[in-house]
Amino acid sequence: MGILHKIEKLQRLDRFIRLQCTGTPGELAIKLQVSESTLYELLSLAKNLGAYITYNNCSCTYEYIKPMRFVFGFVEDGLLCPGRSTQCSNKPGNNIFSSRG
């Protein structure tokens, strides 16, 4: 799995976790279109990157232990608030995923 493919899978994993709709590991693997072993590799990668993920047996979903999200990309200097991983302003064109030509 190439790096861009892994990033895409991590973004989708993050979305399912934040929405608290992962389901069981088998169900999540199907949603991500990967095998269960690849799912566990993605979860391990996410944890190595700093994600605090646990599985809630009562609600049958993975969840973050504390509020967080997966972010990947380049940001212009000064767009991030000191000590935080969020943008200070919502000016058009300052989105970390927008392209400039």
pLDDT, one tens digit per residue, over 36-81 is 999 999 999 999 999 999 999 999 999 999 999 998 877 677 666 5
Show Cβ contacts of residue 25 under 8 Å, excluding neighbours closer than 6 positions: 36, 39, 40, 55
pLDDT at 55: 97
Kindly report the CATH number assigned to the domain that includes residue 13. Answer: 1.10.10.10
How far is Cα 34 from Cα 52, in angstroms, rounded to an integer? 21
Whether pLDDT at 91 is above 50:
no
Q: Are residues 56 and 81 in the same domain?
A: no
Q: How many separate domains does the chain show?
A: 2
pTM beyond 0.75: the answer is no
Q: Are residues 76 and 59 in the same domain?
A: no
* Sign, Cα dihedral of 47, 57, 34, 98: negative
Q: Are residues 22 and 50 in the same domain?
A: yes
Q: Are residues 28 and 50 in the same domain?
A: yes
How much of the chain, in percent, has pLDDT values that exceed 70? 75
How far is Cα 89 from Cα 53, in angstroms, rounded to an integer? 29
Q: Which domain holds residue 18?
A: 3-64
